[in-house]
Amino acid sequence: MNFRYFLLILLSTFFLYVLWLPKQTLVRKAFVLCFVAGMLVFALNPDLSTEIANYFGIVRGVDFLFYLSHLTLFFIAFVYYLRFREMEIRFTKLARQVAIDQATNLGPRSPD
């Protein structure tokens, strides 16, 4: 029971933190808030997760939440992969431009 209270406090704090977090797009904020709100609902009413799990053909609610967290983590990893790739491409372009701008002719001929 103690852990449940701890979870409720943690999730509520996170919910409020995200709610007042500046510089977030509305879509991203709504997504995180819905996710945390869902977790809060499951923490308050654990039997609900079992009911939903049964609806999807899963016996235990905890299994349903386990699968759900896996999917969420996969999604987050994918989003961060996309961001990483974008940053890598930008960084490469920058390094390339610097290299081209600072091309050095080691021999007697001019590079241009």
90 binds another protein (CB under 8 A): no
99 binds another protein (CB under 8 A): yes
- Residue 4, CA distances (Å) to 14, 16, 55, 72, 89 in order: 15, 18, 24, 22, 44
Residue pair 48/37 in contact (Cβ under 8 Å)? The answer is: no
Least gap, CB of 71 to another protein (angstroms):
17
Residues 6 or more apart from 3 whose CB is under 8 A from it? none
Mask for 44-83, x = binds another protein (CB under 8 A): -------------------------------------xx-
Binding site for another protein (CB under 8 A): 81-82, 85, 88-89, 92, 95-96, 98-100, 102-109, 111-112
